[in-house]
Amino acid sequence: MTDEENTLIPSPVLSPKDFDSGFDVRWCPGCGDYAILANLKRVLPTLGIPKENFVVVSGIGCSSRFPYYLDTYGMHTIHGRAPTIATGLKCSRPDLSVWVVTGDGDGLSIGGNHLMHAIRRNVDIKILLFNNQIYGLTKGQYSPTTKQSKRTKSSPTGSIDYPVNPISWALGAEATFIARTIFQYPDHMKEVLRRAAEHKGVSFVEIYQNCIIFNDGAFRYATDKEMRYDNIFELEHGKPMKFGRDQEKGIFLHGLTPKVINYKQAGFDETDLLHHNENAQESTLAFFLSRMRYPEFPEPIGIFRAIQKPTYNDLLDKQMEEAKKSVTKPLQDIINGEENWMVT
Amino acid sequence: MEEVQKLKKENKNRPYKSKQTLERVVIRLAGDSGDGMQLAGLKFTSASVMLGNDVSTFPDYPAEIRAPQGTLAGVSGFQIHFSSTEIYTPGDRLDTLVAMNPAALKVNIGDLKSNGILICDKDSFTPRTLAKAGYTSNPLEDDSLQNYRLFSVNITKFNKETVSKIEGMTGKQINLTRNFFALGLISWLYDRPLDTTIKWIKSKFKNRPNIVEANTNTLKAGYYFGETNEFLAIQYSVPKATMEPGLYRYISGTQALALGLATAAQLAKKELFFGAYPITPASDILHELVRLRGYGIKTFQAEDEIAAIGSIIGAAFGGSIGVTGTSGPGLALMSEALGLAVITELPIVLINVQRAGPSTGMPTKPEQSDLLQVLFGRNGESPLPVLAPQSPGDCFDLSIEAVRIAVKYMTPVVLLSDAYLANNIDPWKIPNLDDQSPIEVFHLTKSLESGNDRFTPYSRNEHLSRPYVLPGTKGLEHRIGGLEKEKITGDVSYDPLNHEEMVNLREQKISGIVKEFPLQEVYGPAEGDVLVLSWGSTHGAAHTASENLRNEGFSVANTNLRFINPLPSNLGDILGSFKRILIPEMNKGQLHLIIQARYSVRAKSLTKVQGKPFHVDEIEALIRKIIAGINHD
Ligand SMILES: Cc1ncc(C[n+]2csc(CCOP(=O)(O)OP(=O)(O)O)c2C)c(N)n1
Ligand code: SF4
Ligand SMILES: [Mg+2]
């Protein structure tokens, strides 16, 4: 189908059902991946993009089975390499909406290099990293995001690895869009996914996802009805950072470190709190926020950073256009070379 | 010639010189990497092709980027074989060696024939340079070179005298023109005209008249020196070869690959996406292709070879022609993704420019030791077609063929070049693009199934290829991936019999490609005593060796494989028609292993793993031995 045809025929209004591939979903009952699938199915039809223009590329892992369950174009590739395939695809076909689904092992361990480079190039692809802090598919070894001391199949006496902080890491690679959301926050997730989709440039979204079999409860502090108010706060652009059951606690900047104060009790006002600015060109604030980890601090969710920078695929196309414009002779002349001779 | 005639007229007192005609000559110009030997060699080559000789050349650069001046590591050489008959190699042993410094002499003297002509720049054999090259006494003055016809010439001094009077020449610039004095001298020795070189100098330095003057004058001075000086008593000439009529240029394997890919893109009316990570000796393909972006080649420098091949798989899924170029260590990194391309049945081309291994090995030196890796170096049963060009020009033809096969059969294709082919420069009859048949790529846009049936991405056509559907095609949304597929729907399947059938189908599809290949051609008798079976770049030496023996009346045939998987359909019959089979290859016998296993024949293996191509006489010697053995039976 040509682009022209696509634009001429008005797209029918799509529903989540249209994105159902009809395959039996094979995740364990209760796996956090179900919720992510359901939310993405709700967001995709609302983006105004024809269904046939979505491509979901994944690596290997429980999370990477994702493309099979969506009725879009998709490729379930090899462990850790999805960003490379997505990069080639987007550069070849900038008209497509290209998504990458990866896990904490897939994206940050074996594929860490590719993820970093896809991000730093600002290829216009949407990367969803399902972080369950464990290797699910290979049945429960610790991953690069597993908390230190965690006992797993491959660390019976506790993991001695220092975990990576995915958001700090993405900032180090200069991601232009960075967000975090949680599998059990449907509305929040939908909003983050929509914003990620609409961002022009690379979007990096970390999604906390519970592996009920091998790492159950890893995010209980963030999902439990009683605990979540004290452990999670939502970032909103231009708004003060506050949280707690009655929104009574706030984030203050104390030197170069964050400080949590019950500001209402202490007699402060909302305007005294740290305010979020997702468009800050410098990533200092976003980095500062990414360092706030449970249990020392409440963890921010939402959009850490959303800035504009020319995308790799646009820059590449621009160079291609210029090269085409500067062509003065047919390929045959190039093949003939500058120096040739006739044998008669 | 005009210029030379003038020179001749001007000089009335020239000594008597005799003339001799030779069938073919091998010379090598050697000096420090800063001495401009590559350029002088190329210009000598141009003059020779203009004269109508068949030519084959081999540049040999130092491995280090900036090797210290005057050291053995910094020696750069350019070898030229020019002939009045058809030739296929840059030649084994040298008839003439030009050495611009002691290091160049030391590195190259071993290749000079005894009684060969040796021209040295006397002025650059100083105590300092001699010491750098590790000489304890000056070889030009002791008796160590008495096996050769030594001519010590004051190249530096004469050059300086010629060009220093020209205005605005700095000391450094003066020294940089020495190569053209040497070029002038050997141009006289082998009766080559200067006009092509002078024309080139004029256009190259058109904004720097003093440089034009300096280079032209010293070139003529060198020529003139040869003509007037008494000690070079003989002038040689190599007459025109009979070559197929047409327009020619000279080309390296690397250039031919790049032009072939650009042509393939044009023939397929598609964008070609070249994703690669720099590695010697394959990086030059990327460098050449970047300059051809205007012809629809999108280049992408990836973060490593895994990303390079990943990017082209993605691009192929999107509908571009995906191509990557690498060498041994990069190929090793690409193997998992190559398997993904096999199972997803996406068309990509991987060019592997082989170099000496294992591991980093000898990055600039050729070997043919990745054959088994490309055939079998992936997990699982993972067949793919393998093509191996036999000459620089053949790199052009086979890169187009590789793209054609990839898209027709929906398969990754490997093209096995090597460091020798990449740099070897041969005359090449320029193809006319109008004579090339278009590359058909068919993208399914409507489901072939009737009614509401689901689209089945793994249904197959008569070639066993699956449909090539591009994302963006409405109604044909589907998923592919590395898990085994149900044979028609492409759904994930662990069914034991389905897997077996899929393994067989993938194998049959690749075997079926044999019908695309021409029948294997044999040079020499169709049956007889010895068949020399070579592959890829070994063709030149194997063919020349066999031909030499045929000319002596021996029953020797030779044939060269350009298609290694699948093997040509008539190869079995050919092998059966000879008493003995000899397989020379630059590895420890990899093709030999395959041929013996596939055809249950006994063959003799000739191996060379020195990071150097075969010499003709190495192959010739073994054939003689084999023949002697047969006659003994
Ligand atoms: C090259 C390679 N090495 C190892 C594996 C085995 N493997 C498959 S998935 C996986 C880890 C997956 O973890 P993660 O990315 O966190 O995904 P999850 O299953 O947790 O969603 C591993 C090690 C593989 N498939 N390929
Ligand atoms: S193992 Fe864990 S991550 Fe994998 S499907 Fe089961 S619950 Fe989900
Ligand atoms: Mg995981």
Q: Where are the domains of chain B?
A: 2-237, 249-435, 528-632
CA gap A132, A210 in Å, rounded: 5
Which residues, at least 6 apart from A39, have a Cβ–Cβ distance to it below 8 Å? Answer: A186, A189, A190, A193
Look at residue B243 in the predicted model and tell me its pLDDT.
Answer: 87
Are A225 and A302 in the same domain? yes
Domain B528-632 class, CATH top level: alpha beta
Are A178 and A255 in the same domain? no
Q: How confident is the model at residue A2 (pLDDT cuts 50, 70, 90)?
A: very low
Give which of B611, B617, B59, B618 is closest to B369, Cα–Cα: B611
Please tell me the distance between residue A136's alpha carbon and the centre of ligand 2 in angstroms.
Answer: 5
CA distances from B278 to B285, B311, B326 (A): 10, 15, 8
Q: Does domain B249-435 have CATH number 3.40.50.970?
A: yes
E strands present in A195-294? 203-208, 232-234, 242-243, 249-254, 257-262
| Confidence check: pLDDT of A7 > 50 | no
CA gap B31, B287 in Å, rounded: 26
Q: Is B301 helix (H, G, I), strand (E, B) or coil?
A: strand
Q: Are A89 and B317 inside 8 Å of each other by CB?
A: yes
A331/B contact by beta carbon, under 8 A: yes
Tell me which residues of chain B, numbers 335 to 394, contact chain A at a CB-CB cutoff of 8 Å.
Answer: 336-337, 339-340, 344
Residue A136 Cβ inside 6 Å of ligand 1? The answer reads yes
Phi, psi dihedrals of residue B182, rounded to the nearest 5°: -60, -40
A and B: number of Cβ contacts within 8 A: 201
Q: Stretch B313-320: mean pLDDT, rounded?
A: 98
Tokens (6 digits) for A122: 């600002």
| Confidence check: pLDDT of B3 > 70 | no
B198/A contact by beta carbon, under 8 A: no
Residue A70 Cβ inside 6 Å of ligand 2? The answer reads no
Which residues, at least 6 apart from B387, have a Cβ–Cβ distance to it below 8 Å? Answer: B398, B401, B402, B405, B413, B414, B415, B416, B562, B563, B564
Q: Residue A5 falls within a domain, yes or no?
A: no
Q: Stretch A65-80: mean pLDDT, rounded?
A: 97
Tokens (6 digits) for B339: 């398997």
Q: Are A113 and B303 inside 8 Å of each other by CB?
A: yes
Amino acid in the structure at residue A138: T
CA–CA–CA angle A264, A266, A268 (5° rounding): 60
Q: Are B298 and A320 inside 8 Å of each other by CB?
A: yes
Look at residue B451 in the predicted model and tell me its pLDDT.
Answer: 57
HSE-up of residue B37 (Cα within 13 Å, Cβ side) = 28
Q: Residue A170 falls within a domain, yes or no?
A: yes
Are A137 and A257 in the same domain? no
CATH placement of domain B2-237: 3.40.920.10
Q: Stretch A241-256: mean pLDDT, rounded?
A: 94
Can you give the pTM of this predicted structure?
0.94
Look at residue B34 in the predicted model and tell me its pLDDT.
Answer: 85
Angle, helices A82-92/B305-318, rounded to nearest 10 degrees: 50
Are A55 and A140 in the same domain? yes
Phi, psi dihedrals of residue B613, rounded to the nearest 5°: -70, 165
Look at residue A4 in the predicted model and tell me its pLDDT.
Answer: 43
CA gap B155, B176 in Å, rounded: 12
CA gap A229, A209 in Å, rounded: 18
Phi, psi dihedrals of residue B414, rounded to the nearest 5°: -105, 135
Are A231 and A250 in the same domain? no
Torsion sign, CA atoms A269, A272, A274, A280: positive
Q: Is A30 helix (H, G, I), strand (E, B) or coil?
A: coil
Taking only the tens place, the pLDDT of each residue in A118-130 is 999 999 999 999 9
Cis peptide before B438 (omega within 30 of 0): no
By C-alpha distance, the chain A residue nearest B483 is: A76
CA distance B182 to chain A (A): 22
E strands present in B35-140? 54-60, 75-83, 94-99, 112-121
| Confidence check: pLDDT of B411 > 60 | yes
For the domain that residue A295 is a member of, what is the CATH number? 3.40.50.970
Higher pLDDT, A340 or A151: A151
Please tell me the distance between residue A166's alpha carbon and the centre of ligand 2 in angstroms.
Answer: 20
A335, A340, A342, A344: best mutation site toward chain B, by most B Cβ within 10 Å?
Answer: A335
Rounded to a whole number of angstroms, the distance between the first and last alpha carbons of chain A is 50
| Confidence check: pLDDT of B254 > 50 | yes
DSSP letter (8 states) at residue B524: S
Which residues, at least 6 apart from B228, have a Cβ–Cβ distance to it below 8 Å? Answer: B11, B13, B14, B15
CA distance A130 to chain B (A): 19
Q: Residue A342 falls within a domain, yes or no?
A: no
Q: Are B432 and A332 inside 8 Å of each other by CB?
A: yes
Give me chain B's average pLDDT, please.
94
Give which of B60, B99, B94, B52 is closest to B78, Cα–Cα: B60
Please tell me the distance between residue A82's alpha carbon and the centre of ligand 1 in angstroms.
Answer: 12
- Nearest by CB to B249, from A21, A117, A336: name it: A336
- Nearest by CB to B477, from A73, A335, A339: name it: A73
Q: Residue A199 falls within a domain, yes or no?
A: yes
Are A216 and A105 in the same domain? yes
B313/A contact by beta carbon, under 8 A: yes
Look at residue B277 in the predicted model and tell me its pLDDT.
Answer: 98
| 3-state helix, strand and coil shares in percent for chain A, rounded to the nearest 5 | 35, 20, 45
Please tell me the distance between residue A91's alpha carbon and the centre of ligand 3 in angstroms.
Answer: 28
CA distances from B608 to B70, B568, B586 (A): 30, 25, 5
Q: Stretch B81-102: mean pLDDT, rounded?
A: 96
Residue A138 Cβ inside 6 Å of ligand 1? The answer reads yes
Taking only the tens place, the pLDDT of each residue in B457-499 is 999 999 999 999 999 999 999 999 999 999 999 999 999 999 9
Look at residue B72 in the predicted model and tell me its pLDDT.
Answer: 93
CA distance A197 to chain B (A): 17
Q: How confident is the model at residue B615 (pLDDT cuts 50, 70, 90)?
A: very high
HSE-up of residue B462 (Cα within 13 Å, Cβ side) = 1
Are A262 and A146 in the same domain? no
A60/B contact by beta carbon, under 8 A: yes
E strands present in B227-383? 234-237, 246-252, 272-276, 297-301, 321-326, 348-354
Are A81 and A187 in the same domain? yes
Tokens (6 digits) for B164: 């220093």
Taking only the tens place, the pLDDT of each residue in B128-177 is 999 999 999 999 999 999 999 999 999 999 999 999 999 889 888 999 99
Look at residue B8 in the predicted model and tell me its pLDDT.
Answer: 52
Q: Are A1 and B473 in contact (CB under 8 A)?
A: yes
E strands present in B338-477? 348-354, 386-387, 412-418, 425-429
Q: Residue B297 forms beta bridges with which residues?
A: B272
Tell me which residues of chain B, numbers 535 to 564, contact chain A at a CB-CB cutoff of 8 Å.
Answer: none
Phi, psi dihedrals of residue B320, rounded to the nearest 5°: -85, 165
Are A256 and A217 in the same domain? no
- Nearest by CB to B248, from A319, A334, A343: name it: A343
A341/B contact by beta carbon, under 8 A: yes
Please tell me the distance between residue A66's alpha carbon and the centre of ligand 3 in angstroms.
Answer: 13
Look at residue A6 in the predicted model and tell me its pLDDT.
Answer: 46
Look at residue A12 in the predicted model and tell me its pLDDT.
Answer: 67
Taking only the tens place, the pLDDT of each residue in B119-136 is 999 999 999 999 999 999
Are A231 and A88 in the same domain? yes
* Class of residue B63 by CB neighbours under 10 A (exposed 0-12, middle 13-18, buried 19+): exposed
Are A133 and A157 in the same domain? yes
Sheet holding B412-418, edge to edge: B297-301, B272-276, B321-326, B348-354, B412-418, B386-387, B563-565
Residues of chain B found within 8 Å of residue A335, distances taken between Cβ atoms: 259, 263, 430-431, 433
Q: Stretch A277-301: mean pLDDT, rounded?
A: 97
Look at residue B419 in the predicted model and tell me its pLDDT.
Answer: 96
Q: Residue A304 falls within a domain, yes or no?
A: yes
CA distance B468 to chain A (A): 13
Gyration radius from chain A CA atoms: 23
Q: Which atom belonging to ligand 1 lies closest to the Cα atom of A33?
A: 21
Residue A25 Cβ inside 6 Å of ligand 2? The answer reads no
Element (H, E) at B585: strand B578-585
Look at residue B66 in the predicted model and tell me its pLDDT.
Answer: 73
One DSSP character per residue, A187-221 reads HHHHHHHHHHHH-SS-EEEEEE---TTTSTTTTHH
Q: Stretch B436-458: mean pLDDT, rounded?
A: 84
B270/A contact by beta carbon, under 8 A: no
A65, A85, A102, A319: best mutation site toward chain B, by most B Cβ within 10 Å?
Answer: A85
Total domains, chain A? 2
- Nearest by CB to A92, from B292, B318, B478: name it: B318
Q: Residue A343 falls within a domain, yes or no?
A: no
Element (H, E) at A121: helix A112-121
Q: How confident is the model at residue A13 (pLDDT cuts 50, 70, 90)?
A: confident
Q: Are A252 and A241 in contact (CB under 8 A)?
A: no
Element (H, E) at B260: helix B253-268
Q: Are A86 and B244 inside 8 Å of each other by CB?
A: no
Higher pLDDT, A274 or B17: A274
Query: A268 is in which domain, residue-wise?
Result: 240-275
Give which of A100, A177, A164 is closest to A133, Cα–Cα: A164
Are A153 and A252 in the same domain? no
Higher pLDDT, A300 or B67: A300
CB neighbours of residue A21 within 10 Å: 18
Q: Are B272 and B399 in contact (CB under 8 A)?
A: no
Q: Are strands B556-561 and B604-607 parallel, antiparallel or unpaired?
A: unpaired
Q: How confident is the model at residue A5 (pLDDT cuts 50, 70, 90)?
A: very low
Tell me which residues of chain B, numbers 119 to 158, contact chain A at a CB-CB cutoff of 8 Å.
Answer: none
Q: Stretch B13-29: mean pLDDT, rounded?
A: 88
Indicate if B249-435 has the same CATH topology as B2-237.
Answer: no
Look at residue B446 in the predicted model and tell me its pLDDT.
Answer: 83
Residue A61 Cβ inside 6 Å of ligand 1? The answer reads yes
